[in-house]
Structure 1
Amino acid sequence: MPPRRRHRHSRLFPILFLTVLALLLLLVLAGAGVLLFVDPNAWRPRIEAEVQRATGRALQLGQLRLVPALSPTLEAEDVRLANMPGGSRPEMLTVAQAEVKLALLPLLTGRIEVARLQLVRPDILLETDADGRPNWRFGPTAEKSAADKAGDAGAPPAAAPAASPGSGPDLLVRSLRLEDGQVTWRDGATGRATVLAVKLLKAGAAGVGAPVTASAEGRLGDQPLVLTAETGPLARLLDPVASDPWPVAATLEIPGARLGVTGTVTRPLQGRGYALTVEGAAVNLSALEGLLGRPLPPLRQVAVAARVEDAGTDIPRISGIAVRAGESALDGFIPGLQLSRMELSAARLEEPVRADVEGSLRGTRLRVSATLGAPTMLLAAAGPFPIELAAEAAGATLVAKGGLAAPLALSGLDLGVTARIPDVAALAPLAGQALPALRQVTMDARLRDGSGGLARGIAVRGLALTAPQADLSGEAELSFGDRPAVQANLTSRRIDADAILGALPAGAGAEAAPQATPPADPPAPAASRPARLIPATKLPFAALDRLDADLRFAVAELRAGGVLTRDLSGHAVLREGTLAVDPVTGTLPGGRLELALTAGGRQSPPPVALTLRAPGMSLGPLLAAFGLPQDMGGTAELDADLRGAGETPQAIAATLSGRLGVAMVDAGLDNQVLGLVLGEVLRAAKLPAEVLAPGGVGQVTLRCLAVRADADSGLVQVGPLVVDAGRLLVQGAGTVNLRDEGLALRLRPMLRAGTSVVVPVRVGGTLLEPKFGPDPGGTAGALAGFAAGMIAGRNPQLGALLGERGGDACGPALAAARGGRAGAEPKTAPPQAGPLAPRLPKPADLLRQLTR
């Protein structure tokens, strides 16, 4: 470079430096002058007017203050932006403190660009009205100032200038920081509001054409969450005529779960033209309880995915739907339930939904698969809605196939159900208790609407249940509502109750699901009165008032207790708390069965009444109830007409009135049973137990058993009472006071063994603790009878004249027990006193026992 030119440049740099320094000094002095002499509150009306012009909403600013900075920075307090007309509250936005930093260069082009906007303690309301219009949709106001109206008086309104594509917005915020605020979302259609507490939110873009990034930390209820997002440029977002896709990518994370959304939106401000991919995952679904505000099943390793696109309607186009869950313990819902996997999928909302579930219940593997109609069929009320379901467990299968004609109205259900169970006992883990060992059970039925549609009830039609032991067919209907009701009409060709009871597991219920052992109750204080045999447990009469029922049944053949009953039919009605079973009829081997029962009602105490005529009832179940051997041949005739009132069996017994008759002839009874019943009587009479059956084993033939009892308000007159067991004849009479369970009976056991020995016995005490003892007043007669027996043994004719050979007491007693009706008589005559059995004591020994 020539020396002269180099000298010229060396003098130019100091001049430029001094010029820039002077300009900066002027700017500083100007800024200081503005801070000293300019009051920003004077700008408040203009700022409020400009915001209202741009947004159509009124803005209220509190105290304004200029902050010293190289760029214009304005601080405002108590900022309020009006809500849309008809909103739930006057303000859409309130801010305790706001700081606005403006960019200088955009101001030269007439645009307002906010370099940084900081909001402290903002309260933002995002809501829709009842018609779905959002409050975040802004527009220029149509109102003008008074001066504008005066200047344009009589002039036609000017058309708004069209925005040029890519010109950018008049107001742009490049950086946003929000601290300690809250955002409320309110649905105007439902009125429900959700509040999100925002600890910190940061959003910004490098420029008007650069992508926007945002991050936020907050809490929804008790659930902490973190949001990160990246979108397209703000210029594209606010450009009303742009149509190119605006990219969106957002991730919401909470402890143990995340939800991601990626895609594009062509009209983001209108919420239209979206095409989004949604993916979510949760280690445990219960992590979302705080977010959704409701309990959720503890499904683990949950994954969801779907494609959501704008279909031009209020309902989006959803495709690629997939929901999966892995191994999960669901004991909180059903004890012992374990999920192995669950998959739910649908190609589109317009196509069927497929579901597959595998797992186990208390160690038994089970699988359920289902195919349901397209979800859009529910939304569009199009039918019929198809339903297919299949389940299998422990070799059993259940298949249901059909549809729902009107899904939204919940009506038109038609579902065929088929079940095949090779072994009912194998399903015990599913039931939580031991089940009977019934095999090859099948069931077919159709599920239909109840009266008034599925929402009001469900009906079972064409029921066909079969098993080797029984069959059942008919129909039933369950009605829902404040007072449920059940109607059923069931028939059966054959029921073998003995076989069904034989299939019941020993100790049924022992295999039930384990339950926590309750703490032991403290020992009860000693009772002030003797314990009762009849329990004081309150009967569940209140349960009779929970629903109404009407049940008709008919069984062609019923085998129970070894007795075959034919043509059994009955009608039971439960209405307004009163149960009426009337009539139940059938044909027993000895004649016609008739039964009627009423119980409950809303009276206090509730009345109970029973009428029963059964000429051939088995006593096996009754013996089993008392833990006695059931080896018994023959049946009993029962004739009962009883009534009482009370909430407990004890109270009913204390008010019992009516009659009861029991008659049996030529029945075989296990010697142990007879020994348990008459053993105390024999011991009180000091007669040997061997009189019942030599050797003490085997069966005893009862020529007859006859009992007649008449009750009046809990006082029962017993008599006659006759038990003719061949070698032993027992006759008796007396009273039983059911009010306190007191006994006052006199029995006359007579031993037919060489001599006719009659030893009267008194029975006192209570039903729970009877006391047996000789009847002192009858001792002389007993000795006379014994002497007469000795004479009769040597001279039978004289014995017959004395009348101590026992006679035949069965006839009169059976007639009394039957209420005077004719019936079967013993096939054999009463045994005559014969030689003593080898094991029986000698007469002299018996005489000494009686006189002790």
Structure 2
Amino acid sequence: MAQNGNARRILLGSVAALVVIAGGAGLAVKSMLDPDALRTKAIAAIEKQTGRKVRMGGLELHVFPTLSLSVSDVGLSDMAGGAYTDMVTAEKLQASVGLMALLHHEIRLEDLKLVHPVVHLERTDKGMANWRLSPTGAQATATADTKTTQAASDWKVQIGSIRISNADLDWDDQMSGSRGKVVLDHINLSDVDGAKPEIDVAGHNDSGSFTLAGHTGAINLTSTARAGWPVALQAAFRAGGQQVGQLAVDGTVADPDHMKGYNIRLDGNIASLKAIEAFVPGLSLPDAQRLSIKANVVDGSAADKEGSTPLLNSLHLDTGAVDAGQYLSGLTLQGLSVDAPGPKDAVTIRSQGTWQGQGLKLSGTLGSLQQVEQAALSHLADPLPLSLDLSGDPGSLRVAGTLGGSRAVVNVNATAGKLPLPNGAVIDHLEASTHLVSEDNGAHFQLSDIALKSTQVSLKGALDLSVHGGHAGVPLVSGALDASWVNADALMGNTTTTRADANTVAPANGKSSDETLPFDRLRKLDADLRLTVAQLEFEGDEYHNALTHISLRNGLLKVDPLQAEGTGRRLSGQFEVNASGSVPTVSGTIGTLVLPATWLESKAGLSNMVQGALQVVGEVHTQGNTATELRTAMTGHLGVSMVNGTVSGSALGELLGDAARGALGSGPIALRCFGLHMSMADKKANVDTIGVQTNALTVTGKGTVGMVSHDLDLHLVPQVMISGTGASVPLRVGGTLSAPRPKMDGGADGRYAIGLLLGGSDSKAAVDPCPATLKAAREGQAGPEPTTAAPKAKSSGAAGLLGNSKSSPDVKKAAGLLKGLGILK
């Protein structure tokens, strides 16, 4: 017992002695350490270690319960040429100080805390990062005592652990193209100067929050040489109160500043890929749901070369629904699976989804993972084997062979029960195939054995593309297509456009008349193409032995010949556009050409007045870079005609007056014949023949139209024929195409030559104007005749004309029309 008592007295005495010694040591340390001197030593040490200027406010030392310090207004300058004055600032810094380390000229800080720090991170496109510190370029702080400064710079600062809260972090990474800003709720770093620093970070921005935890290898901010530097991190992301994804990164990185020398394993899942854009601004990601990925990514670039080349050693990717509309309009995938267990294993692809509301399935293989990567990096200069099958409601497509390389060979086969085309058209019962050969690393392509057969078209042929085979190295397309039949009407679909204002004059293609037309495109491609069609259906007519040859070289486009044999007419013509000079020229000789009226009117910037097949003849020459210049310089003669079409009652009424327009109505009126012939010069079209005939109305005349201004000076004679009675009155139409102004046209004596014809089958009212109109408009060329007989006068007396209530309903309508023309009051 005595021995135990002695032991207790010795222990208590020892503890007391230690307390006295510690307290005395604390007083001694406080008396020996000058806060200003310690501040000077700290600044000099940090500047030497970082190569940056350091700003510190007043430093305070605290001895009890442990030796600690606090500093206000802390700042570390940005790199030379950086966007900010300081890379890091903080309102206050607090830390515990290692006492024994001071004896070795080392300021060791534990549990370092920063109050509201602001951090700006930058990296240039060359990989120069402002967080990379350079002690060799230390910036000395000017002091009065040089010896004191040099002595202080022999000290160094070490950090053991860091605790940060409420930090503002922004970054601008020009190397990856990412920039953004977040608030870091906390950053906890332990064993900072050890071999395995631990990381715990939580942050948020306006769109979501994230956490990051794990460890890395030893942190050395003054060196990029980190062979085998380990990384093991786990990230989690939340948005809208829900977890949207997590990602684990495990591996090594040699040079993280320049993104080089990595070997990383990725394992993650994301509820919505689009949601990741909230955390990494600047990305444009597809809308993929329930994405799961496992991959091994390595850097395939040489260590002495700038930049990195990510390569996959393995890949497993699964997704839920993917909205792929940004890549192909109307495409939605219900799921996508991509697998490659190793770098030499084939890449297997499986997917299913819908396109334009129709179900699709995709399955097949590409070459090995290495082959896919090499082909992508070389832009298909390296070969890529593939075998892909696409099937579904629209049909099937099989592509098999080898893409890229010095000589690629691919066979393509396709079928479709009903394939939709633009403008509402479709192709039925389609069977198509071709053999593609690419040579000289993609400089030369050949499509041989082209075969396409469907209800609407059947053709065979071959096409050749030489990327640098044209004049001055532009691409050259050549070949021949021979069709057994083509139903052009079915392939064009519904090309008729209904306009809100049928009499509005609009620039062709919606372009401004002063906008430069794309003639320069003709200088960027050469072509030599021949097309024959044994049987052609176009605008309701059938044609046989159609032939055209298109040649384009050095900006000179020639279409010669353009010919076909039709019912009652023979199509022929030739065109030339010479864009080789600064002022393009356009010329054409048209024996006979048939064009859709709506298409021709839209190109000419005219209203949708008539519908049907327009027969065009004549010769035209012009030059210029804009639509206005082309109209200004146009010369030649032109005739257009139509039989068995329709004419807009609204547009016709505009020419005859508001009251007449009301009587005619705004809808289409059956057109027996229409003809127009003109000569063009000095910005005017001198119209020598105008002829229109419907069942109830005939219009003849002549006049002028401004090619650019669209000014009208027309002399028309409309003639009404209702219930065997004819009446006419001359009109003079001024104004413009978009706003015609009709009025009665008096003769030289000021009188109006109003004609009123009653009865008699051989009267002038029975004269058919169509033969003379069509002959002039066709310049003597052959063409179809109207399928309906000309209206004939039948005796009915004047009572019908004057609106007898017992007459047919057409009589009242005729009376209204005559009043609109000014014949009746």
TM-score, normalising length: structure 1? 0.60
The one-letter amino acid of 1:214's match is I
Inter-partner Cα distance in structure 1 for 2:599 and 2:638: 18
Quote how far apart the aligned CAs of 1:301 are: 0.6
Q: Given the alignment of the two structures, is residue 717 of structure 1 paired with residue 688 of structure 2, yes or no? A: yes
* 1:595 corresponding residue in structure 2: 573
Q: Is the 8 A contact 1:401 1:416 kept in 2?
A: yes
Q: Given the alignment of the two structures, is residue 204 of structure 1 paired with residue 183 of structure 2, yes or no? A: no
Q: Given the alignment of the two structures, is residue 565 of structure 1 paired with residue 564 of structure 2, yes or no? A: no
* 2:202 corresponding residue in structure 1: 217
SS across alignment from 1:348: coil
Inter-partner Cα distance in structure 2 for 1:38 and 1:218: 39
Q: Given the alignment of the two structures, is residue 302 of structure 1 paired with residue 269 of structure 2, yes or no? A: no
Inter-partner Cα distance in structure 2 for 1:652 and 1:237: 68
Q: Given the alignment of the two structures, is residue 371 of structure 1 paired with residue 356 of structure 2, yes or no? A: no
The one of 16, 21, 34 aligned to 1:21: 16
Q: Is the 8 A contact 2:50 2:133 kept in 1?
A: no
Q: Which runs of 5+ in 2 are unaligned?
A: 139-145, 148-155, 304-308, 601-607, 654-671, 786-791, 804-823
SS across alignment from 2:341: strand
After superposition, give the CA deviation of every residue in 1:367-422 in whole Å (9 maximum; x if it has no partner). 2335333454445858223344332232522223344445xxxxx57353524233
Q: Given the alignment of the two structures, is residue 442 of structure 1 paired with residue 432 of structure 2, yes or no? A: yes
5 Å-filtered alignment, 1:767-806, equals none
After superposition, give the CA deviation of every residue in 1:316-354 in whole Å (9 maximum; x if it has no partner). 885441111102455677665432101122222344333
Quote how far apart the aligned CAs of 1:810 are: 12
Distance 1:326 1:433, change over 3 A: farther
Q: Given the alignment of the two structures, is residue 553 of structure 1 paired with residue 525 of structure 2, yes or no? A: no
Q: Is the 8 A contact 1:763 1:770 kept in 2?
A: no
Quote how far apart the aligned CAs of 1:31 are: 1.3
* 2:789 corresponding residue in structure 1: none
The one-letter amino acid of 2:688's match is Q
Q: Given the alignment of the two structures, is residue 342 of structure 1 paired with residue 322 of structure 2, yes or no? A: no
Q: Is the 8 A contact 1:532 1:741 kept in 2?
A: no
Q: Is the 8 A contact 1:80 1:93 kept in 2?
A: yes
Inter-partner Cα distance in structure 2 for 1:206 and 1:190: 27
Q: Report which structure shows greater RCO (CA 8 Å, sep ≥6).
A: 2
Q: Given the alignment of the two structures, is residue 35 of structure 1 paired with residue 30 of structure 2, yes or no? A: yes
Quote how far apart the aligned CAs of 1:229 are: 1.7
Q: Is the 8 A contact 1:263 1:274 kept in 2?
A: no
Provide the identity percentage. Answer: 18
* 1:396 corresponding residue in structure 2: 395
* 2:483 corresponding residue in structure 1: 494
Q: Is the 8 A contact 1:743 1:763 kept in 2?
A: no
5 Å-filtered alignment, 1:569-718, equals 569-571=548-550, 573=552, 581-586=559-564, 593-597=571-575, 610-614=588-592, 639-642=617-620, 658-659=636-637, 713-718=684-689
5 Å-filtered alignment, 1:321-470, equals 321-329=315-323, 336-377=330-371, 378-379=373-374, 383-405=382-404, 412=406, 414=408, 416=410, 418-424=412-418, 427-428=419-420, 434-446=424-436, 448=438, 463-468=450-455, 469-470=457-458
The one of 694, 702, 709 aligned to 1:735: 702
Quote how far apart the aligned CAs of 1:840 are: 5.7
Q: Given the alignment of the two structures, is residue 288 of structure 1 paired with residue 276 of structure 2, yes or no? A: yes
Distance 1:650 1:203, change over 3 A: closer
* 2:211 corresponding residue in structure 1: 226
Inter-partner Cα distance in structure 1 for 2:797 and 2:193: 129
Q: Is the 8 A contact 1:345 1:355 kept in 2?
A: yes
Inter-partner Cα distance in structure 1 for 2:612 and 2:482: 30
Distance 1:300 1:447, change over 3 A: farther
Quote how far apart the aligned CAs of 1:365 are: 0.5
Distance 1:105 1:715, change over 3 A: closer
Q: Is the 8 A contact 1:535 1:648 kept in 2?
A: no
The one of 250, 256, 271 aligned to 2:234: 250
Quote how far apart the aligned CAs of 1:818 are: 7.7
The one-letter amino acid of 2:400's match is K
Inter-partner Cα distance in structure 1 for 2:688 and 2:367: 71
* 2:248 corresponding residue in structure 1: 261
TM-score, normalising length: structure 2? 0.62
SS across alignment from 1:34: helix
SS across alignment from 2:286: coil
After superposition, give the CA deviation of every residue in 1:66-120 in whole Å (9 maximum; x if it has no partner). 2123433244566677999999999987766444424568899999875433344
The one-letter amino acid of 1:400's match is V
Q: Is the 8 A contact 1:44 1:61 kept in 2?
A: no
The one-letter amino acid of 2:382's match is G
5 Å-filtered alignment, 1:21-100, equals 21-36=16-31, 38-43=33-38, 62=56, 63-76=58-71, 97-100=92-95
Q: Is the 8 A contact 2:312 2:369 kept in 1?
A: no
* 2:666 corresponding residue in structure 1: none
After superposition, give the CA deviation of every residue in 1:720-769 in whole Å (9 maximum; x if it has no partner). x999xxxx9x999853444555654679999xxxxxx9999666466999
After superposition, give the CA deviation of every residue in 1:594-619 in whole Å (9 maximum; x if it has no partner). 31346798999998755322399999
Distance 1:765 1:73, change over 3 A: same
Name the Cα RMSD after superposition: 7.0
After superposition, give the CA deviation of every residue in 1:130-189 in whole Å (9 maximum; x if it has no partner). 6999976999999xxx99xxxxxxxxxxxxxxxxxxxxxx99755321345567888797
Quote how far apart the aligned CAs of 1:24 are: 0.7
Inter-partner Cα distance in structure 1 for 2:698 and 2:221: 108
SS across alignment from 2:388: strand
SS across alignment from 2:274: helix
* 1:829 corresponding residue in structure 2: none
After superposition, give the CA deviation of every residue in 1:49-70 in whole Å (9 maximum; x if it has no partner). 87799x6968968454321234
Quote how far apart the aligned CAs of 1:298 are: 1.5
Q: Which has the larger radius of gyration?
A: 1
The one-letter amino acid of 2:67's match is P
